[in-house]
Structure 1
Amino acid sequence: MRPTLPTGMRDRGDWSTTPTAGASRPREKIVSLEFDASRARWTAREELAERMIPLIGGLYREHGVVTSIHGRRLINRSPIELLKAHRFARQAGDVELDPADTMRVLEALREIAPGPASLDLARLVARYAASGVEGAHGGEGERMPLADFLRTELAPVLAADGAERPVREGTNVVLYGFGRIGRLLARILIAHSGDATGLRLRAIVVRKGSANDLVKRASLLRRDSVHGPFAGTIEVDEQANTILANGTLIQVIHANDPAAIDYTTYGIHDAIVVDNTGRWRDEEGLSQHLRSTGVARVLLTAPGKGAIKNIVHGINDGDIEASDRILSAASCTTNAITPVLKAVEDAYGVVRGHVETVHSFTNDQNLIDNFHSGDRRGRSAALNMVITETGAAKAVAKALPSFAGKLTGSAIRVPTPDVSLAILNLQLERPTSKDEINRYLRQVSLTSPLRQQVDYIESAEVVSTDFVGSSRAGIVDGLATIADGTDAVLYVWYDNEFGYSCQVVRVIEAMAGTHPVVLPVREPVVLGSVAPDAASAADADAQPELVAG
């Protein structure tokens, strides 16, 4: 809003013209007023964001409430990051979210004290604004007081008057292996440890190394060439063989046999063991973990073989049963493409397709030319593009049976350490256009049940490194979309390390029954329900979420 101008400075024509010498002083005053007004507005917003932080933290630590704005988690965020999340809300409507409205909701939530839940503050604000005209007498068209509205919306997680909520223990998690995925899982689990009823990282199992093995492993957790420094403090106790990270005490266990560990000697019972070594991928191999004392279930961070269920969270996590002792979290590429394929299948139907992945190199490849059992993979990963194969296309059918026999796939390994790109070349059952399918996928990323898995961006300047640290399984690049009748090509970015690790944690939560209730309840996204004006193209500020999901 332009500040009020002093008398005599109004109606002077086009301000963009070069002022004469006599007019320069009034023009300077206008600019100064605008500068001061902009700074005052920003300072007020920044102060509001600073006041939000203890409310957001208190709701999380004391009540297990995860707050977000259109899927952008607000826990452990700086004031600037909170304001960026509010600005992102423009992508779901015409205006950005007012921090003052968010503050009122947070203050009301503190008094209501809901139970564990994932609350989208932007949707709560929007639903309250749409509920009527605010009034004090409850007349026709007047909306109820905010506290009463929130009690209605959050009824599933509110205790009855005078009733105490049942107290439940957190679920113990053991990381078997501590490589690229293992260390990222540790970072995410530690960041999510504020809620005592959730997942508790209790131990890491590795093979015994050198005398300073513990210090070196802690250093790898503390520093990462791709994902940056650990967000917090790390202490090492070599006598107890433990790592203390942000108050989470992690026992480091040295073992070569997954069946010969007594976890109960470390106070660990009914644990979920997350095998991120990739050494065993069938039921026979992974069942070795179940022979160790203190283990309840096993999750593999790679595609499972045989009858093992391959779970892609957001797609078939509802298939997890209490009797499932061994599960797989599928692959990073399968997690990236399956949610997008599910969304497209629901709206347009998919006849057939081909998936081409441009994939970052992995530690399975050689730094310089050397022997490798796989074709071409023996050539230097740092110097070459390497044509290889991927099982991700066929693996989609394990999570989405309707895709059985519909997809082919291939891969090109490229000399980048992280972030990959999947190109989906699809033949659809019904025709569409670039604008239509983009509007639909954009809305899927904002308001659908797949919003934790699918993100969307439109910017002519983004490149692969812009997606390092994205918590979504895949990010649709809208400007790259091609659609002509029943033919469509979609470009899906994905952080094949961090984004996949976030999906793994969601599967662990589903196995443990600790995944919070998502409120307010979301209506399904229906093709054609998104008006073009409400889905205008995102600008360069609309970056994908770069925090743990």
Structure 2
Amino acid sequence: MRIAVNGLGRIGRLVVRAITSLQDSKLELVAANSLAESDIIAHLLNYDSTHGKLTNRFQYNNNYLFNSTSKISLFRQSKPETIPWGKENIDIVIECSGKFNSKNAAIAHLTAGAKKVIISAPCENADSTIIVGVNDHLLNSNHNIISVGSCTTNAVAPIVKILNDKFGIQCGHITTVHAYTSDQNILDNSHKDFRRARSCFASIIPTKTGVSTSLKEVIPELANCLDGSSVRVPTSNVSLIDFTFYSHKTLTVQSINNEIKESAKLANMKDILDIAPAPLVSVDFNHSKFSAIFDPYETKVVGKNLGRIVAWYDNEWGFVHRIIDIVKIVELCCRDER
């Protein structure tokens, strides 16, 4: 499977790091498109403030990034339809630029010769929105524009599904306490969101999240039952889900914790859901590959039917590994069709 990445920001660079470190013969990263210069791309791949230094470091010239195990063609095109994906015989483009998150925009990659596009963001009109551990069984070879949702959707959806299957969720609210991202300002400056316009280091910043919209697509039986909000905090990575819900069945702290702990042992939750082994803090989950790490020490029940759970997630590294999981599922689907 020949893979390309469009956009080498935070997620795009970590996708490059993760795929090239796997050394999986079925997944060959052969091309990337970015408007940045080769020298800064290589430097930011090799040295990451959050995830550390690469041991197998990239070198560069005007046309390639390369290390001892990988050689990646570099393109600098602003429009996807002009990138020579066909010439490179690209099977999958991982769209990480943040600029082409609609189906109509992402189709340009297919026009350029790619066979499929995986969008690293929500996309309501995608052929499918796939959350690993929740609805990945629905992915098939006819899906050409695939959304992986958001890091938050990947964190909360597996736990919401577990709770709904066991206890029945009448309604609920999701709050994500989220690390700052590059969409925010270091110092106060103009922004379409008045609150994100403010310094990400100086304040706790309430903002919006699309998690409830994405959840409707992957757990349709809970459409119109859930809502969500986000609070950005002055930390660089690792976020937290705080989910409060009203159930059909009677709840206890023990019944919630036991159900999630047992579900985490299932095959479809391998590498998706983990359990915090102690009362930990956000830095302890940096560089975690899991979609979510459930914190049983924070579970609360009020009355008989009002429950609250907390789960941690590395909103960068964990999310990147779900993107790669979907690449692997697409590869398997296409292989089975041949």
- Report the TM-score when normalising by structure 1: 0.59
Change (3 A) 1:176 1:307: closer
Determine whether 1:201 maps to 2:29: yes
Do the aligned residues in 2 keep the contact of 1:223 with 1:229 (CA within 8 Å)? yes
Alpha-carbon distance in structure 1 between the residues aligned to 2:256 and 2:68: 43
Alignment of 1:281-360 (within 5 A): 281-293=101-113, 295-360=114-179
Deviation at 1:306, TM superposition (A): 2.7
Contact 1:206–1:252 at 8 Å: present in 2 too? yes
Q: Are the counterparts in 2 of residues 509 and 515 from structure 1 also a CA contact under 8 Å?
A: no
Matched, 1:178 2:8: yes
> 1:354-404: per-residue Cα shift (whole Å, max 9, x none)?
001111111111110011111311000111111111110231111111110
Please say if residues 81 and 109 of structure 2, whose CA atoms lie closer than 8 Å, have aligned partners that are also in contact: yes
Correspondence 1:217 to 2:41: yes
For residue 311 of structure 1, report the CA deviation from its aligned partner. Answer: 1.2
Residues 388 and 412, structure 1, Cα contact 8 Å, conserved in 2? yes
- Secondary structure at the residue paired with 2:206? strand
- Give, in whole Å, the separation in 2 of the partners of 1:515 and 1:221: 30
With 441-450 and 379-388 compared, the bigger mean Cα shift is at 441-450
Is 1:469 matched up with 2:293? no
Q: SS at the partner of 1:492?
A: strand
Cα deviations across residues 472-525 of structure 1 (Å, max 9, x unaligned)?
111111101112422210001111111111111111111121799xxxxxxxxx
Task: Please state how far the C-alpha of 1:246 moved relative to its aligned partner.
Answer: 4.1
| 8 Å Cα contact 1:281-1:305 kept in structure 2 | no
> Which aligned pairs between 1:361-372 and structure 2 lie closer than 5 A?
361-372=180-191
Q: Point out where structure 2 has 5 or more consecutive residues left out of the alignment.
A: none
Contact 1:172–1:201 at 8 Å: present in 2 too?
Answer: yes
* Correspondence for 2:94: 274
SS at match of 2:80: coil
Deviation at 1:230, TM superposition (A): 1.4
- Name the amino acid aligned to 1:449: N
**What is the aligned-residue identity percentage?**
29
The answer as to whether partners of 1:384 and 1:414 remain within 8 angstroms in 2 is yes
Distance 1:377 1:232 in 2: 36
Q: Which residue of 2 aligns with 1:71?
A: none
- Consecutive aligned runs of 4 or more in structure 1 exceeding 6 Å deviation: none
Compute the displacement of 1:231 (Å). 3.7
- In 2, distance between residues paired with 1:235 and 1:447? 41
Cα deviation, residue 251, structure 1: 1.1
How far apart in 2 are the matches of 1:458 and 1:486?
Answer: 26
Partner amino acid for 2:94? V
- Conserved 8 A contact 1:445-1:451: yes
Match 1:388 to one of 190, 202, 207? 207
Change (3 A) 1:172 1:499: same
Cα distance in 2 between the residues matched to 1:382 and 1:224: 19
> Once the 2 structures are TM-superposed, how far is the Cα of residue 428 of structure 1 from its aligned partner?
1.3
Match of 1:243 in 2: 65
Q: Which residue does the alignment assign to 1:256?
A: 78
RMSD: 1.7
> What is the match of residue 112 of structure 1?
none
Structure 1: gaps spanning 5 or more residues: 1-170, 517-549
- Which residue type is aligned with residue 430 of structure 1? K
1:448 Cα deviation from its structure 2 partner: 4.2
Judged with a 3 Å threshold, the aligned counterparts in structure 2 of structure 1 residues 288 and 458 are, in CA distance, closer, same or farther, namely: same
CA distance in 1, matches of 2:255, 2:142: 43
- Once residues 454 and 438 of structure 1 are traced to their aligned partners in structure 2, the CA distance between those partners, rounded to angstroms, is 13
Query: Residues 202 and 514 (structure 1 numbering): CA distance in 2 closer, same or farther, change over 3 Å?
Result: farther
2:19 paired with 1:189: yes
Q: Distance in 2 between matches of 1:280 and 1:270?
A: 18
The residue identity in structure 2 corresponding to 1:253 is: F
Aligned equivalents of 1:297, 1:412: Cα separation in 2 = 34
Q: Larger relative CO (CA 8 A, sep 6+): 1 or 2?
A: 2
Question: Would you say how many aligned residue pairs link Structure 1 and Structure 2?
Answer: 334
Deviates more, 1:226-235 or 1:347-356: 226-235
Letter of the 1:245 partner, please give it.
Answer: N
1:319, distance to aligned residue in structure 2 (A): 1.6
